[in-house]
Amino acid sequence: MTLPNDSLRPLPPTGRFRALDADKLRGGYYTPEVLAEWLCAWAIRSPSERVLEPSCGDGAFLAAAARRLTALGARPGAKTQLQGVEIVPDQAALASERLAREGAGLGRVHVGDFFAWWTQTQSEQVDTVVGNPPFIRHQSFPEPAREFAMAAMATLGLKPSRMANIWVPFVAACVARLAPGGRLAMVLPAELLQVAYAAQLRGFLAQSFHRIDLVACTELFFENVQQEVVLLLAEGKSLSPVQECQVRMHEVQTAAELVGKRPEALMLAQAPKLVQHDSEKWLKYFLSNAEMGLMRALREAGGVAPLSAHASVDVGVVTGFNDFFVLDNTAVQAHDLSAWAEPVVSRAAQLKGAVFTSQDWQELSNKPAQRVHLLRLQPDTLVPSGSGLQAYLQGGEVAGIHRGHKCSIRKPWYAVPYVWAPDVFLFRQIYAFPAAVLNAANAAVTDTLHRLRVHTAKPEQLLPSFYTYLTAASAEIEGRSYGGGVLELGPTEAERLLMPASLQSGLPLSEIDAMIRKGKLDEILAENSQLILQAGLGLSTAECRMLRGIWERMRDRRMARRKQRRSSLSGATA
């Protein structure tokens, strides 16, 4: 049996055949019991604490919290100490059963939406919040729960975002519910460290707590899961804004290594680091203070500039349905569409070097199944009656292509807009290095890559200065890395990539192109380190070595997750 690989919590034995897609839609992922035990052991310090689990699912955290309180000496009393909230009735029933077994009389489970409960009980405070909030995209979060969540964000002075995943307001609301000195221990997506929509939450957390510990695992915490998560442990809740929150990043190789350590022992292992929360991602916490200092100094240095100083970055062509508009040569000939077909790059894998030539494009076109022809029609294009083009468009309408969102808002639906050939292709999804490729074939490109227009020099003069450890290191910090090990750069993030302010004389582009085709990227970067970073920018050998170390360590960390994902996928079939 092949199981989905995007669930964070293994299914319990009694629920093996549940509708997994429904669980994913509501963010219903299960936390391993040992991890819940470890987090509760850190978060709960006394037998009298009031504990909240805002999305308790089947009760893993509630059971662990009950065991922790009992071990500390808690006894059932008149006042409820443990409160769980769960919107799915059958899951709430399971949680209630577990709580009755593990901590009879210590708590209860509220059935309903957390944000509605939060709004109705705003005067209540708790000492500890533990849990694993749902990971649901904003558009998948049902009403009226979404309306309550956005209202809660606004109440806390935070601006709701339609880009935000719903775990963001969950965390913010839980922080607000904590009493002074309270603790928060949660399993969160690693997006916390890097995505723009979580930026204000990062600032909110840093202003709310005196200390934050982040725990990341080189391997994914959960088996057969694509989503990377981190553990957020925050303590010392403050009613007034904290001026300098102490933040520590802890890395472990495996989840077993983590649960084998006492939380207090782990916390003593790292010194605090200071990230500028108003402008920097928390990815920088993976760096040493010396590395962070170097990256800040370089960004402010007169000889260094963002890519935006040299070029603008735009997404590639959005066709609305690539399988219809982007064709291979066989399809062009079969439908007699050559008069309306233009060269296009549709996949990053079609770019093999640092220069994409007309010969490269022609070789691709001659191969079967290589989609390098874009059906390009203007709004006023005359479609000949009885032509292959007319038949092809009619076939598209029969298939409903014209009813897709992008196509339906165009007049006519088949006229793809904003088609232009960029000076340079820039990879949007990155494995080793943020590759940039000269467009010598004058081809368009789909939105699988980005388009660069160079405005300070000839495009071929820009590219050698791009292939350095400086650009590589900044990409790892500016980009977004997900569980599959891929680094992704949006246009705004790409424009922040660092490179020389004045383009330097590095290796010739023709030589860079030939070396990349032979798999010699490391040699290019080493040569350009001397020619551009040292001779051109005046960096020391030690600084160049530090930049290389930043790039390689951050790259290797995320790519290890890519290898793990492949291993998990190959082992998921039985």
Cis amide linkage into residue 412, ω under 30° from 0 = yes
Looking at residue 550, its pLDDT comes to 96
Residue 381: C-alpha distances to residues 19, 116, 252, 326 (Å): 48, 55, 60, 18
CA–CA distance, 171 with 177 (Å, rounded to integer): 10
Query: Which of the following CATH numbers is that of domain 13-286: 3.40.50.150, 3.30.230.10, 3.40.30.10, 3.40.50.720?
Result: 3.40.50.150
Question: What is the DSSP code (8-state) at residue 2?
Answer: B
Looking at residue 531, its pLDDT comes to 96
Strand partners, 445: 345
CA–CA distance, 494 with 452 (Å, rounded to integer): 10
**Dihedral angle at the C-alpha atoms of 21, 57, 481, 3, nearest 10 degrees?**
-40
Cis amide linkage into residue 144, ω under 30° from 0 = yes
Mean pLDDT of each 10-residue bin along the chain, 574 residues long: 28 30 48 90 94 93 94 82 93 92 88 91 91 78 78 85 84 95 94 87 93 84 68 94 89 84 82 74 87 93 95 97 96 96 96 97 96 96 95 96 94 96 96 94 97 94 95 94 82 95 92 96 96 96 97 89 50 36
* Encoded tokens for 476: 């790892």
> What's the full length of the chain, in residues?
574
Residues of the chain with CATH 3.40.50.150: 13-286
Quick one: three-class SS letters along 219-250? Answer: CCCCCCECCCEEEEEEEEECCCCCCCCEEEEE
* Encoded tokens for 570: 């190959």
CA–CA distance, 513 with 475 (Å, rounded to integer): 21
Strands (E), 435-514: 436-439, 444-445, 449-454, 480-481, 487-488, 498-500
Looking at residue 313, its pLDDT comes to 97
Residue 295: C-alpha distances to residues 58, 66, 290, 306, 487 (Å): 44, 45, 9, 12, 19
In contact, 63 and 69? CB cutoff 8 Å: no
Q: What DSSP line would sit under 20-60, residue for residue?
A: HHHHHHHT--PPPHHHHHHHHHHH--STT--EEETT-TTSH
In contact, 44 and 187? CB cutoff 8 Å: no
pTM over 0.75: yes
Angle at 383 between CA 380 and CA 388, to 5 degrees: 150
**Dihedral angle at the C-alpha atoms of 253, 259, 262, 266, nearest 10 degrees?**
20
Helix (H) or strand (E) holding 178: strand 178-189
Looking at residue 140, its pLDDT comes to 64
Looking at residue 194, its pLDDT comes to 86
Relative orientation angle of helices 541-570 and 469-478, to the nearest 10 degrees:
50
